[in-house]
C-alpha cells in the first residue's frame, strides 16, 4: 500500500474514534459545554420574565389604588361635609393656594391640585378676596369658586391702607387716587348699589348710608376693578368683625347696631388714641342723664361732618350756629348717621365704656384730653394756660 493511502486510512480511523467517544459521552448523560450555556441562558431569561411580570402586576395594583384616591380628591367624592372661608391675596400663587386649601381640609393631595391648577391656568381665574368653599366642590369648582368679577391674580392690583376715622368720601377719593376706579363710579356704587347687608338702612342715592361700615384696614384692590366689589370687601370685613360675641354686646347695650357705630365714629374723631373709654363715658352720660348739658353732645366733629364742603378748616362760632342735622350743639341725642368709619378699638369702647361721672373734656397743651364732672371745673381748665385752645 502506498504511503498516501496509508495516511488517508489513519485520518479516517481517528475521526471514527472521536465520533464513538462523543456518542459514548452522550449515552452516559453528559452534555457539551455549549448545551449547558444555552440552558443557563434560557433559565435566566425565564427568571427575568417572571420578575418583570410580577413587578407589572404589583405596580398596576398600586397605581390603581393611588389613582382611585387621586380621583376621589379631584372629583370631591366620599368627603366629609365641610365649609371654609379661604382668603386669597396678591402674594398668593398656585402653590400657596394649594397649601391654604389643604390646611382647611378642602383637598388632600396638594401636588395633584398644583398640577391641575397649572394645566387649567388657575392663576388667570382665581382672584383676591375671601371665598366661601366646601368639600363638595371638585378641583374645577374650587378654582371657579375663587374667581373674582374684578380680575385675577395676574391682574394689576394696588395695596391701600384705609385709615381709621376716614369718611366714605375720603375713602373713595383715596381709592380713586390709586386707580381702583373713578371717583364718580365709586360714589355711584356707594349711593345706589344693593350690597345686601341688613345694617345698611339708609336710603339709596346717598353715600352716607355706608358711613361707619367701610371697615378701616389694609386692602388689595384691582386697578380699574368693579366699584361694588371693592366697596363690598370693606363691608364684608365689617360684617366679619361684628361676630356673634360683638353682636351680643350690641344687644345688651340697649342700642341698635347703627347707633353703636355712630357712637364709635364720634369716639374715633375725638380720641387722642388712649382715651376712648372715657370719651365713651362722656357720650353716654350726656345721652342718658340731663346733667348740665341737657342731652346735648356738643361734639364739634359732628358739625364739621354736617357742614361738608362748607367747612373751611377751622370751626368758628358762626359754623356752630348753622343748623344741620349733625349739629349736636343744637340737636339733642345722636347725629342721624355715623360721621366716620371707626376701627375696632372705638367700636369696643362704644360697647364697653368706662364708668365715670364725666360730662366734659378738653384738650390740654400736653396733647391729651382732660376730663371733668362739672361745667365749672371744665371752664376753669379752659381759662387756664393748660388749655390747648
Report pLDDT digits (tens) over 48-78.
566 555 544 554 545 455 666 777 888 888 8
Residues in a beta bridge with 131:
86
Does the pLDDT of residue 241 top 60, yes or no?
Answer: yes
Query: What would the pLDDT profile of 145-176 be if each residue is shown by its tens digit?
Result: 998 766 777 788 899 999 999 999 999 999 99
- More confident: 360 or 21: 360
- What pLDDT, on the 0 to 100 scale, is given for residue 279? 98
Residues in a beta bridge with 364:
387
- What pLDDT, on the 0 to 100 scale, is given for residue 61? 46
Q: Which residues contact 377 (CB under 8 A, 6 or more apart)?
A: 360
Predicted TM-score (pTM) of this structure = 0.72
Over the range 195-218, which residues count as b (16 or more CB within 10 Å of their CB) and which as e? beeebeebeeeebbbbbbbbbbbe
Residue/partner pairs of 110-119 with CB below 8 Å, 24 or more apart: 112/70, 112/73, 112/74, 113/73, 113/139, 113/142, 116/74, 117/143, 118/94
- More confident: 90 or 126: 126
- More confident: 45 or 9: 45
User: Average per-residue pLDDT in the chain?
Assistant: 87
> Pseudo-torsion of CA 317, 323, 324, 328, nearest 10°?
60
Rg (alpha carbons) of the chain, rounded to whole number: 42
Provide mean pLDDT across the span 369-374. Answer: 97
Provide mean pLDDT across the span 347-359. Answer: 98
Amino acid at each position: 500500500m502506498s504511503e498516501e493511502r496509508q495516511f488517508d486510512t489513519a485520518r479516517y480511523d481517528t475521526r471514527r474514534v472521536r465520533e464513538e467517544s462523543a456518542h459514548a459521552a452522550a449515552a452516559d448523560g453528559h452534555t457539551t459545554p455549549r448545551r449547558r450555556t444555552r440552558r443557563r441562558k434560557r433559565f435566566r431569561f425565564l427568571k427575568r420574565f417572571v420578575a418583570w411580570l410580577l413587578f407589572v402586576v404589583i405596580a398596576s395594583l398600586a397605581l390603581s389604588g393611588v389613582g382611585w384616591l387621586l380621583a376621589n380628591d379631584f372629583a370631591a367624592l366620599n368627603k366629609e361635609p365641610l365649609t371654609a372661608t379661604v382668603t386669597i391675596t396678591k402674594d398668593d400663587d398656585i402653590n400657596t393656594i394649594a397649601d391654604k386649601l389643604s390646611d382647611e381640609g378642602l383637598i388632600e393631595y396638594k401636588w395633584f391640585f398644583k398640577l391641575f391648577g397649572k394645566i387649567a391656568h388657575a392663576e388667570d381665574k382665581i382672584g383676591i378676596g375671601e371665598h366661601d368653599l366646601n368639600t363638595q366642590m371638585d378641583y374645577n369648582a374650587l378654582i371657579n369658586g375663587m374667581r373674582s368679577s374684578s380680575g385675577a391674580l395676574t391682574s394689576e392690583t394696588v395695596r391701600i391702607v384705609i385709615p381709621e376715622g376716614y369718611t366714605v368720601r375720603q375713602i373713595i377719593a383715596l381709592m380713586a387716587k390709586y386707580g381702583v376706579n373713578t371717583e364718580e363710579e365709586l360714589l355711584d356704587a356707594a349711593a345706589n348699589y344693593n350690597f345686601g347687608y341688613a345694617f345698611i338702612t339708609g336710603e339709596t342715592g346717598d353715600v352716607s348710608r355706608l358711613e361707619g361700615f367701610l371697615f378701616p384696614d389694609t386692602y388689595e384692590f384691582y386697578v380699574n376693578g368693579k366699584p361694588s366689589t371693592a366697596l363690598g370687601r370693606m363691608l364684608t370685613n365689617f360684617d366679619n368683625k361684628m361676630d356673634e360675641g360683638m353682636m351680643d354686646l350690641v344687644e345688651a347695650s340697649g342700642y341698635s347696631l347703627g347707633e353703636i357705630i355712630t357712637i364709635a365714629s364720634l369716639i374715633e374723631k375725638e380720641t387722642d388714641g388712649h382715651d376712648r373709654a372715657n370719651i365713651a363715658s362722656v357720650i353716654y352720660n350726656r345721652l342718658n342723664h340731663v346733667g348740665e348739658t341737657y342731652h346735648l353732645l356738643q361734639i364739634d366733629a359732628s358739625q364739621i361732618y354736617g357742614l361738608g364742603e362748607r367747612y373751611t378748616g377751622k370751626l368758628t362760632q358762626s359754623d356752630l350756629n348753622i343748623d344741620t342735622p349733625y349739629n349736636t350743639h343744637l340737636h339733642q341725642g345722636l347725629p342721624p348717621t355715623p360721621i366716620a368709619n371707626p376701627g375696632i378699638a372705638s367700636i369696643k369702647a362704644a360697647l364697653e365704656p368706662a364708668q365715670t361721672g364725666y360730662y366734659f373734656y378738653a384738650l390740654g397743651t400736653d396733647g391729651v384730653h382732660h376730663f371733668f364732672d362739672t361745667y365749672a371745673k371744665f371752664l376753669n381748665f379752659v381759662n387756664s394756660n393748660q388749655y390747648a385752645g
